[in-house]
A and B are shown apart, each in its own frame.
Chain A
């Protein structure tokens, strides 16, 4: 309940003055909810392809980077690129895990940074930022000429479908810089050794499970304490069966969306894994590190994780382990068996009240240049949303094959749009896979919270674009 004091730089005189003000307590000025509204200027795209946003090179640029799995080395190099373009600009760089703790007060005061990598466990809720009008739309950036070729816009250099994740009601507010997909992982070396074929259908997978168990390996594990790792697996299973519209209906909070046959079939299939005893014992009680370690140790054959898995395991992966991704095995009668949850992650945003908005757009344009993107690929071995950057690892190449059809890319969004739905789907999925609730209870529970969210006028509603 206590807020961090927002009074900077104590000098003795100021302290005494402040104290006097505090004693008087006549106003609540300089506290958390105050701050002035400055005039907000929109950035437009000019004719100069070198400097399309008209950056004033003398202004400082304030960049905040989430110092998580990707570190901040790539950002330092991006800033060097910015610095060499604008030698007079002073670039402020802050790398932190405490995004909300350090940045939320700045939003509240109306003095946010210029570029924010709003990521990690301490992410400031995107729905709240968008609803409050605190974020700048990124259309000028996307329409600007790209860094490398003035005849191609920035938008045209990006992979298909990657802006979806940052789009709220048709407007792009966040640039999700890292390209990733949610897939099922297996050890290709183990499978080759045992002569197992990676299953493409659910029935093939079920048929393979007894063979896996015969080797003393549990077929499945997952991060039981963070059931969100099951979110994309479950929804893709449903979406593959009934087509992407089934998932769109869920995102749009349509009546009975959860009671759709495909969604029920997916819930029953997931529950079936528990019923058949195909899940590593103890899984509901372990976290992502424990589940991935169990996977590395060949205690389990399949695990649902995002594309960052090989990079995350770099250094601790057992000798000869080959991380290979596949789409979730689809149910019989699936109408869109190639559907996959893939797109951008790691949202970079520009606050609406940023002091140096043109500089912020320019910084993002630099990030999206060929060189900028290659820097990211070289430092962290992960793909960005920019087309045509080659990575030299098996997992990245296999992922590229899975996401080759733009029609099949879809990120289910309700968890990001509606925090309340997010808080409900996690325990519900966890309960379903641990056998605590059956598929009917699961479906009714999710339908209930979806109906409540739909009926709540206080919640801003979002939709997928046409």
Chain B
């Protein structure tokens, strides 16, 4: 190695690493520090109180425990439903069509469908929230779904979907899925495009139907993409807050039925004036996300198929 190489490299590294440390690592470290205090957030005085905040976290059955439960539900349901739907759609749009003259292609109008499915991705979450709030509104206030159900003579929640404790969380998850499917559809589509057509042709010659083609060929070859999507969606699930904030009554209601961890952190930090408690919950969320990423990467590890 030639003289002066390290100082040269270091001089390039210093700035990005420094910025990263200052803007990411230090605030993270500080959240740990703050979580051990009784800091309110609007003062420059605080005392260290040890792990009290962490102990109290798991005693809070009004906000924290419902939030952990709801976030857990979203964490399971959102990736499963989103990946399932977008894999299905991607398969149908790319491979699932009737084979015409031996060529493998998607269902009729697949290009048009792709654009339509991708549409929600173009809208900002705030707009989606306002849009769906109206869609879910009570029937006599112009709710689209309630109005539709009523017109068909089916039962619908009289106060709209978001004011019903049993339906609010499902409604929020529905919007999340609706807005995410398009992106993963495109994501899986491009991954599917990389699968050699000969494999399908061979399969069809051997008499495989769509069902078998999907489970025996497509899915195994897409495994890495699915895994990536899973991690992204899990992180979205842990982060979900904007929709709950925009759509639900009392930003997590009615009566705590749609509280999520992100929302509870916000409530404690800015509405209750308990920054330290909020930081403790943030630290818990941080470790949950970290564990999740590590576990899903490890557990999902399979042999890579070369083609």
Contact = CB atoms under 8 A, between A and B. Distances in A.
A466 interface: no
B203 interface: no
Contacts of A23: 14, 17-18, 21
A134 interface: yes
Interface string A411-446: 000000001100110110011001010000000000
B273 A282 contact: no
Nearest to B133: A287
28 contacts: A1-B265, A1-B278, A1-B282, A5-B23, A18-B18, A20-B18, A28-B33, A31-B26, A33-B33, A37-B45, A107-B44, A109-B44, A110-B44, A128-B41, A128-B273, A132-B45, A224-B249, A226-B250, A282-B139, A285-B138, A285-B159, A285-B249, A290-B141, A419-B271, A423-B62, A423-B63, A427-B255, A430-B250
B62 A424 contact: yes
A125 B272 contact: yes
B159 A124 contact: no
Interface string B270-303: 1111100011001101100000000000000000
A19 B12 CA distance: 13
The 4 closest A-B pairs by CB, nearest first: A128-B273, A282-B138, A19-B18, A22-B22
B249 A225 contact: yes
B43 A134 contact: yes
Contact of B141 (A108, A226, A285): A285
Contact of B254 (A35, A129, A290, A427): A427
Interface string B5-46: 000000000110111011101111111011001011111111
A2 B163 contact: no
Centre residue among B15, B25, B37, B255 by max chain A CB count within 10 A: B255
Interface string A270-287: 000000000011111111
A122 B270 contact: yes
A336 interface: no
A67 interface: no
Contacts of A124: 42, 270, 273
Nearest to A35: B44
Interface in B74-89: none
Given A36-B44, A132-B45, A283-B159, 14 more contacts: A1-B28, A3-B27, A19-B18, A22-B18, A23-B18, A28-B29, A34-B44, A104-B42, A124-B273, A224-B163, A286-B137, A426-B250, A430-B250, A434-B159
A76 interface: no
A25 interface: yes
B42 A33 contact: no
B256 interface: yes
A133 B160 contact: no
Contacts of B63: 423
A420 B250 CA distance: 14
Interface band, chain A? 35 or more
Contacts of B137: 282, 285-286, 290
A100 interface: yes
B195 interface: no
Contacts of B31: 1
B138 A281 contact: yes
B56 to A, nearest CB: 9
A34 to B, nearest CB: 7
A22 B250 contact: no
Interface string A85-127: 0000000000000001000100111100000000000101101
B22 A18 contact: yes
A2 B34 CA distance: 12
Interface in A252-280: 280
B138 A286 contact: yes
Contacts of A393: none
Contacts of A226: 249-250
A125 B163 contact: no
Contacts of A31: 26-27, 30
Contacts of A287: 249
A282 B42 contact: no
A49 interface: no
A434 B27 contact: no
Interface in B236-279: 249-250, 253-256, 265, 267, 270-274, 278-279
A33 B14 contact: no
B169 interface: no
Interface in A1-52: 1-3, 5, 16, 18-23, 25, 28, 31-37
B150 to A, nearest CB: 11
Interface in B36-64: 37, 39-46, 62-63
Contacts of B138: 281-282, 285-286
B43 A133 contact: yes
B140 interface: yes
A227 B253 CA distance: 11
Contacts of A132: 40, 42-43, 45
A226 B278 CA distance: 24
Nearest to B138: A282
B148 to A, nearest CB: 15
A131 B40 contact: yes
